[in-house]
A and B are shown apart, each in its own frame.
Chain A
Amino acid sequence: MSALPPRIHLARGTGRAAQYLALLCYLVFLAFPLLWLISTSFKSPQELGRIDPTWIPQHPSLDNFREAFEAQPLARSALNSLIVAGSATLISVAIAVPAAYILVRYRSKVSSAATGWVLVSQMFPFVLVIIPLFLLLKNVHLINSLSGLIIVYVVWNLPFSLWMLQGYVKAVPVSLEEAAAMDGASRFRTLRSVVLPLLTPGLVATLMFSFVTAWNEFFFALVLLKSPENQTMSVILTRFLGAEGVADLGPLAAASVLATIPSLLFFALLQRRLAGGMLAGAVKG
């Protein structure tokens, strides 16, 4: 590096400064709404009513969090979200693993059609999907029930789970399976005893990603769940908004902070795998 002419050194210096300045701008843009949400959640109603807001709450308190639980069935909705996201994730990944394995290892017309469908299904607007599902679930009396929403989430999560898992399956060396086949292991046995253990890290990533997607989902839950005691957290949060704009800013902010915590935890654990998972299906094809 020291062999570079001085002009380049100078240019480097200003370049670095510009880079740090740009990074700072990004940090501010990304962080300020988050900090504001957290700040608001600790403010008293009197302070929120004032015309000149401050970044630091003057008398920070946890009252908003308490009130959030009183104003809406927040704990119940958290439980609902947990049940729906948890079951939908387990079911969809459980059926996606064997399917992803077959789609990767067998090149047949069925495989390419299924993979094609996974991609095409991403294109359809949800409103087109929800109308027939709504009619279908209504016929079997699964509107306004958590089971109905679980079914919808399983199907809705499947394409992405398949997509992520295919990438991970491709990374498993074929030679191991060949050895198992030579020893007379069945397809199912090979999958269970050879592929699955090697797939575990990818499986965990897919499970977490799928859970976060279901936990955060809003549209299907809004359409399918009617009574407050059945609603998931995303839907309950919109009830804080009231009919005419924001009624109670403090509890609204507090409830929003709480609803974000599970997703954030999972994402923190997932961080390193995200890019790999997103691209695995595409790049290794």
Chain B
Amino acid sequence: MKGRSARERVPFRGTAPPRTPAARKRYLGLDRGAWFLLLPALIPILILSAGPLLYAISLAFTDSQAGRTVATQFVGFDNFADLRLDSLFWESFRIGLVWAVCVTGFQLLLALGLALLLNQNLRFRWLARTLALVPWAMPEVVVGIMWRLVYHQDAGILNKTLRQVGILSEGGNIDWLTNLSLALPAVILVGVWAGMPQTTVVLLAGLQNVPRELTEAAQLDGAGIWRRFVSVTWPAVKPVAIAITALNFIWNFNSFGLVYVLTQGGPGGQTRLPMLFAYEEAFKYGQFGYAAAMGVVMIAVIAVFLTVFLRKHLKEDPS
């Protein structure tokens, strides 16, 4: 690895080493040809991604609104002061955290289990591998619609199955997505279903790092399944698991489409994730400045969570 990166740093070994400082700088940095190849990607990123983000952050400090004729004014921290007192927003934030933590956690557990199974030499493994990819390929709107059909009070399969198994009484009929206490868990289940495949695929790739002879040695020494997992398998997949969990958390916290289709944030705001709240604020009520302030708070929370999470896990790992 070391030898390779050293080679990469000097891409064209055939050319003579540069003599003057200016030439050396050109050699190590980007020459004109390189800029020419890099700019087509760099310019859109700067103009349409980095620029707008800075603009959005600055909007958070203004009273910008949709369709207003009066000029937008700088209002300092007013939006954030309003946010601090906005109990609906904090409720939405709490729901967002519950959603993100639960979905990410279950995703990791279930995906790890599935990845371990797929890594075994089992029959029907191909079927599980193929099926596990389907949720990833589906548009999230379709995933939402599909689960609405499953959860549907009368025409849905879930109530019927629960009645057949005897968990629900004969006439029992739950409306999963409009029940105040069941809507959030029901939506979380969909989130786990939708996000599990990606995590499984990544963990499965990580499992290829587990040294086979170590597993076999542990087995011969009489180590049980759990012991083998804790001392051989987990240490090898841990870096990959941490990376995908951090990413999953970000994606889940910023998730929108699934819940928009499933419940539109209802019943009574029980599933109104922060993204849905900010979307309504911006494009239903036209409060761009206020919505941007919400976005800024969301970034701050993600940043804090990630720092705490990564620091904790990287500290445990001396390497």
- Chain A residues with a Cβ under 8 A of chain B: 15, 19-20, 22-23, 26-27, 29-34, 36-37, 40, 48-53, 55, 94-96, 98-99, 101-111, 114, 117, 121-136, 151-152, 154-155, 158-159, 162, 174, 177-179, 181-182, 186-188, 191, 212, 215-216, 218-219, 222-223, 233-235, 237-238, 240-241, 246, 249, 252-253, 256, 259-260, 263-264, 266-268, 271, 274-276, 278-279, 282
Contact = CB atoms under 8 A, between A and B. Distances in A.
Given A40-B155, A123-B303, A125-B298, A95 B141 contact: no
A104, A106, A111 — which one has the most chain B CB atoms within 10 A of its CB? A106
A27 B37 contact: no
Contacts of B44: 95, 154-155, 158
Given A36-B157, A102-B30, A132-B56, A123 B139 contact: no
Interface centre among B57, B125, B134, B135 (most CB of A within 10 A): B134
Contact of B37 (A26, A130, A191): A191
A38 to B, nearest CB: 10
A111 B57 CA distance: 25
A135 B41 CA distance: 22
A23 B127 CA distance: 10
Contact of A132 (B52, B124, B149): B52
A19 B122 contact: yes
B11 A19 contact: no
Given A30-B131, A53-B155, A99-B41, A19 B117 contact: yes
23 contacts: A22-B113, A26-B114, A27-B124, A101-B37, A102-B38, A110-B42, A111-B30, A114-B45, A125-B254, A125-B275, A125-B295, A126-B254, A127-B295, A127-B298, A128-B53, A174-B11, A178-B14, A186-B33, A237-B145, A259-B141, A264-B138, A275-B205, A279-B205
Contacts of B299: 123-125, 128
Nearest to A113: B42
B186 to A, nearest CB: 12
B-side interface size class: 35 or more
Contact of A30 (B134, B142, B146): B134
A223 B113 CA distance: 38
Interface of B: 7-9, 11-15, 28-31, 33-34, 36-38, 40-42, 44-45, 48-53, 55-57, 59, 110, 113-114, 117, 120, 122-125, 127-142, 145-150, 152, 154-157, 160, 193, 198, 201-202, 204-206, 225, 240, 243, 247, 250, 253-254, 256-257, 260-261, 274-275, 278-279, 282-283, 288, 291-292, 294-296, 298-299, 302-303, 306
Contacts of B139: 215-216, 218, 233-234, 237, 259-260, 263
A276 B205 contact: yes
A23 B128 contact: yes
Nearest to A54: B160
B238 to A, nearest CB: 14
Contacts of B282: 127, 130-131
A76 to B, nearest CB: 17
Contacts of A275: 201-202, 204-205
Given A29-B193, A99-B40, A259-B141, 10 more contacts: A36-B157, A53-B154, A107-B28, A114-B41, A127-B275, A127-B298, A178-B12, A218-B141, A267-B134, A279-B202
B288 A158 contact: no
A30 B33 contact: no
A155 to B, nearest CB: 4
A19 B21 CA distance: 64
B202 to A, nearest CB: 6
Contact of B56 (A53, A128, A182, A256): A128
Residue with the highest number of chain A CB atoms closer than 10 Å, among B40, B50, B146, B288: B146
A106 B11 contact: yes
Contacts of B278: 125, 127
A129 B53 contact: yes
A214 to B, nearest CB: 11
Nearest to B134: A34
Contact of B41 (A40, A127, A162, A181): A162
A187 B34 contact: yes
Contacts of B34: 102, 106, 187
A158 B50 CA distance: 13
A238 B156 CA distance: 19
- Top 4 A-B residue pairs of the complex, sorted by shortest distance between their CB atoms: A128-B295, A99-B41, A187-B33, A98-B37
Contacts of B279: 127, 219, 223
Given A106-B11, A181-B14, A34 B146 contact: yes
Contacts of A30: 128, 131-132, 134-135, 193
B138 A216 contact: yes
A122 B247 CA distance: 9
Nearest to B138: A260
Contacts of B59: 131-132
Contacts of A182: 14
A186 B193 CA distance: 49
B293 to A, nearest CB: 10
